[in-house]
């Protein structure tokens, strides 16, 4: 079993500088990630225009990371239209996704990641993830009488199968993050999609905060998904709201999670995903210390 590697999620950047951060703030926050002790980081390109911006400035961003001693290990083209029922929107999203995969490869990333995004519902009030930060809200929706889930499911399968294959051609792993309120929101939904795609290059981001809020028994989630877990997002909460707090500030069974991960020889990146909190730097450092103590207790080799 190789070493687990502690890294910094892009939610750190979003929490500080909004969604998505400007190019200048992207450069600024990379320096701040380095200043609080991280070597491994992730980066996002949000929607078609945001993805193009990162693509166009990929050389200077890579140079900056190289000068700082940072390594972008996960790149996220966040393209909601990947799962759209509108074929023209999907086509444009895949143009941006190709840029995302090329960018991920250029950065030397291990994984390319995206979300499954919010269902095509009419929200009567606030919309989930509009600002990617607020948690614990309730929503009222209307479903279009013409909406057909089975038709949409076939599009979802085809789209993420295509994402998986494009990533594989670039020697990158493709992973999807199930999140509260999205088309693929939990472990079993992911497993259903994985079975439908049928490609070992398709994996999951296990986000402890989101899945704890989904009332999953997280060590059992690890047992069910096993080597399909390509990447970890770790943050804590009390299971009532999908807050993303420092590890140890909620009641997530991290010892059980990492014992199960050790059983399945997980040796990937463990990305701290704390956000929308006060004193954010302190909570990231608190999480690093928590993980270090836990890994030593469980005799897990790690690096940061």
- The DSSP-derived string for 133-150 is ---S----EE--TT--HH
In the 3-class helix/strand/coil scheme, how is 235-303 assigned residue by residue? CECCCCCCCEECCCCCCCCHHHHHHHHHHCCCCCEEEECCECCCCHHHHHHHHHHHHHHHHHHCCCCEE
The CB density around residue 279, as the number of other CB atoms within 10 Å, is 10
Using one digit for the tens of pLDDT, what is the confidence trace for 122-169?
776 666 666 555 676 677 778 889 999 999 999 999 999 999 999 999
Tokens found for residue 29: 């926050």
Tokens found for residue 131: 């600002």
Q: Do the strands 122-123 and 111-115 form a parallel or antiparallel pair, or are they unpaired?
A: unpaired
pLDDT of residue 136: 67
Contact 251, 243 (CB under 8 A): no
pLDDT of residue 142: 85
Residues 6+ positions from 215 with CB-CB distance below 8 Å? 239
Cα 243–249–254 angle (5° rounding)? 90
Using one digit for the tens of pLDDT, what is the confidence trace for 36-52?
999 999 999 999 999 99
- Ranges in the chain, pLDDT < 70: 1, 124-134, 136-137
Residues 6+ positions from 138 with CB-CB distance below 8 Å? none
**Domains, in order of start, for the chain:** 4-303 (3.20.20.150)
Residues 6+ positions from 47 with CB-CB distance below 8 Å? 20, 78, 79, 80, 96
pTM above 0.85, yes or no: yes
Residues 6+ positions from 4 with CB-CB distance below 8 Å? 261, 266, 267, 268, 269, 270, 295, 300, 301, 302, 303
Rounded Cα gap, residues 304 and 299, in angstroms: 16
pLDDT of residue 120: 83
Rounded Cα gap, residues 128 and 116, in angstroms: 13
Residues 6+ positions from 299 with CB-CB distance below 8 Å? none
Contact 149, 120 (CB under 8 A): no
Residues 6+ positions from 145 with CB-CB distance below 8 Å? none
pLDDT of residue 215: 96
pLDDT of residue 10: 98
């Amino acid at each position: 079993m190789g070493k687990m590697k502690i890294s910094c999620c892009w939610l750190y950047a979003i929490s500080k500088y909004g969604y998505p951060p400007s190019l200048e703030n992207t450069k600024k926050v990379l320096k701040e990630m380095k200043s609080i002790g991280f070597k491994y980081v992730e980066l996002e390109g949000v929607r078609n225009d945001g993805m193009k911006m990162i693509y166009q400035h990929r050389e200077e961003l890579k140079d900056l990371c190289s000068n700082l001693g940072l390594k972008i290990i996960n790149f996220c083209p966040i393209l909601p239209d990947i799962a759209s029922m509108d074929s023209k929107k999907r086509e444009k999203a895949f143009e941006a996704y190709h840029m995302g995969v090329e960018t991920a490869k250029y950065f030397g990333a291990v994984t390319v990641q995206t979300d499954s995004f919010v269902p095509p519902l009419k929200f009567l009030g606030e919309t989930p993830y509009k600002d990617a930060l607020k948690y614990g809200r309730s929503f009222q929706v209307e479903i279009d009488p013409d909406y057909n889930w089975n038709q949409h499911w076939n599009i979802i399968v085809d789209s993420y199968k295509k994402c998986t294959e494009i990533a594989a051609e670039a020697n990158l792993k493709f992973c999807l993050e199930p999140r509260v309120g999205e088309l693929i929101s939990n472990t079993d939904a992911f497993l259903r999609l994985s079975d439908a795609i049928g490609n070992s290059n398709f994996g999951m981001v296990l986000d402890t905060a989101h899945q704890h809020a989904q009332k999953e028994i997280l060590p059992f989630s690890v047992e069910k998904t096993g080597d399909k877990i390509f990447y970890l997002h770790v943050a804590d909460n009390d299971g009532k709201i999908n807050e993303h707090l420092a590890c140890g500030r909620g009641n997530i069974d991290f010892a059980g999670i990492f014992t199960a991960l050790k059983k399945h020889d997980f040796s990937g990146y463990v990305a701290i995903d704390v956000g929308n909190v006060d004193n954010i730097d302190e909570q990231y450092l608190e999480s690093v210390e928590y993980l270090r103590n836990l890994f030593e207790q469980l005799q897990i080799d790690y690096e940061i």
